[in-house]
Amino acid sequence: MSPVQCTGNVRVPRLQREKLMASDQLTPDKWYTEIYPDDGAAFSLSIKDRIHEEQTEYQYLEIFETEKFGRLMTLDGLVMLTDRDNFIYHEMMTHPALFTHPDPKRVAVIGGGDCGCVKEVLKHPVESVIQIELDERVTRVSEEYFPGLCTGNSDPRASFEFTDGIKWMEQAGDGEYDIIIIDSTDPVGPALGLFSTEFYRTCHRALSDQGVLIAQSESPLFHQHIILDVNRNMKAAGFAHRAVLQFAQCVYPSGWWTATLASKAVAPTEFRETAAQDKDFDTSYYNAAIHRGAMAQPEFLRKQLAE
Ligand code: AG3
| Cα(115)–Cα(38) distance, integer angstroms | 30
Cα end-to-end span (Å), the chain: 29
Is the same domain home to 134 and 20? no
33, 185, 258, best to mutate for ligand 1 pocket (most atoms within 8 Å of CB): 185
183 is catalytic: yes
Q: How many domains does the chain contain in total?
A: 2
Is the same domain home to 115 and 246? yes
> Which atom of ligand 1 approaches the CA of 81 most closely?
12
Selecting among 114, 183, 186, 229, the annotated active-site residue is 183
- Protein residue with least CA distance to atom 1, ligand 1: 185
Sign of the Cα pseudo-torsion (162, 259, 191, 205, in order): positive
| Cα(168)–Cα(90) distance, integer angstroms | 22
Question: Over its length of 307 residues, how does the chain's per-residue pLDDT go in tens digits?
Answer: 333 333 344 444 444 445 567 777 777 788 999 999 999 999 999 999 999 999 999 999 999 999 999 999 999 999 999 999 999 999 999 999 999 999 999 999 999 999 999 999 999 999 999 999 999 999 999 999 999 999 999 999 999 999 999 999 999 999 999 999 999 999 998 899 999 999 999 999 999 999 999 999 999 999 999 999 999 999 999 999 999 999 999 999 999 999 999 999 999 999 999 999 999 999 999 999 999 999 999 999 999 999 8
Q: What is the pTM of this model?
A: 0.93
Is the same domain home to 249 and 103? yes
Which pLDDT belongs to residue 131? 98
Sheet order of strands, 41-55 included: 31-36, 41-55, 60-66, 71-75, 78-82
216, 217, 223, 226, best to mutate for ligand 1 pocket (most atoms within 8 Å of CB): 216
Is the same domain home to 52 and 114? no
Between the CA of 99 and the centroid of ligand 1 the distance, in Å, is 23
Domain extent, residue 15, equals 4-82
